[in-house]
Amino acid sequence: AELGLSRFEAVAVQHCPEAAAVILAHPTGWSLAYSGDCRPSRQLAAAARGVQVMIHEATFEDDLADHAVSKRHSTSGEALRVAGEAAAECTILTHFSQRYPKAVATRSPTDGPAAGGAQVSARSPNSAATAITAAADATVITAFDGMRVRWDRLGE
């Protein structure tokens, strides 16, 4: 079936052979970048510049960056940096390790949600709450299994 997309672009990423992120756009104005499993990618950030929504895997908290490197995944902070470099309006973090029973934490640069950044609390089994800084004007959502997102409600 015809999708009517104005853009469909694959960007090679570091994970397994032939792994790729994808960028989609539609003539009505919506745009989306999806990282798939990968290490952070400047090429993805550049290609996705200005997307409305960046869906990026965030398998590990920042204190497990060595695991992220060895398993070719991203930390939450790395995913947010890619989204920030892309100037994404909204970032959805996904693909969390099962070691985290709740979402990873994010905070605005002023240590609170009032500046426009998102804040959710989280605890890993072996550490206190972890904080990841998001851009003050960006929306950050932590995904969960079976989650549905309404495009018209993303900025709320």
> pLDDT tens-digit profile of 61-71?
899 899 999 99
Strand order through the sheet with 53-57: 7-12, 20-25, 31-34, 53-57, 90-94, 139-142
- Residue 54's nearest CA partner among 25, 29, 26, 83 is 83
In this model, does residue 118 exceed pLDDT 80?
no
Query: Contact 62/26 with Cβ under 8 angstroms?
Result: no
Q: Give residue 79's identity as a one-letter amino acid code.
A: A
Looking at the chain, the whole-number percentage of residues with pLDDT higher than 70 is 72
Q: What is the pTM of this model?
A: 0.76
